[in-house]
Amino acid sequence: MISTINGSSTTSSELSKNRQRWSVYSGLWDRDRAQFLQRLQLMQERVSSRMEVVGAFDRDIDQYRTLESDIRAEEPTETINFVKVDNSLLKERLLELKDQWQQSMLQLLHDQALAELREV
């Protein structure tokens, strides 16, 4: 009886660690994308050099490329004692969110470049 309780406690602890491991990617679902992009646009309006703006976008987009490889490196399934945890849907959704973030940033950069071209 005691070993069953201890085993359940250990399993619960390991499942909690599994959940915490995925929380590293919480910025993909926690952050308000529209608000972030608006702040990014305002910040870039204050920057004088177009190269600084493009460099900032490049760094941000590169962060999402790094996130993508980190997510892809995560194991899709894991067995914790007697529980099989399938994280494949979570991985898939995180990759979709990462794509949405990248696409939003690229769209903002595109819109800004188009607006500058129209001014010329």
Alpha-helix residue ranges (DSSP H) falling in the chain: 2-22, 27-30, 33-46, 50-73, 88-119
Torsion over CA of 88, 89, 91 and 94, rounded to 10 degrees? Answer: 180
pLDDT at 44 over 80: no
- Please tell me the predicted confidence (pLDDT) of residue 7: 57
- Per-residue CA distances from 98 to 45, 69, 111, 115 (Å): 25, 11, 20, 26
Tell me the pLDDT tens digit for each residue of 67-104.
999 999 999 999 988 899 999 999 999 999 999 999 99
- Please tell me the predicted confidence (pLDDT) of residue 65: 92
- The residues, any chain, with a CB within 8 Å of residue 29's CB and separated by 6 or more, are 97
* Residues 37/104, Cβ–Cβ less than 8 Å: yes
pLDDT at 3 over 70: no
- Please tell me the predicted confidence (pLDDT) of residue 40: 80
Q: In the chain, what are the domain boundaries?
A: 2-119
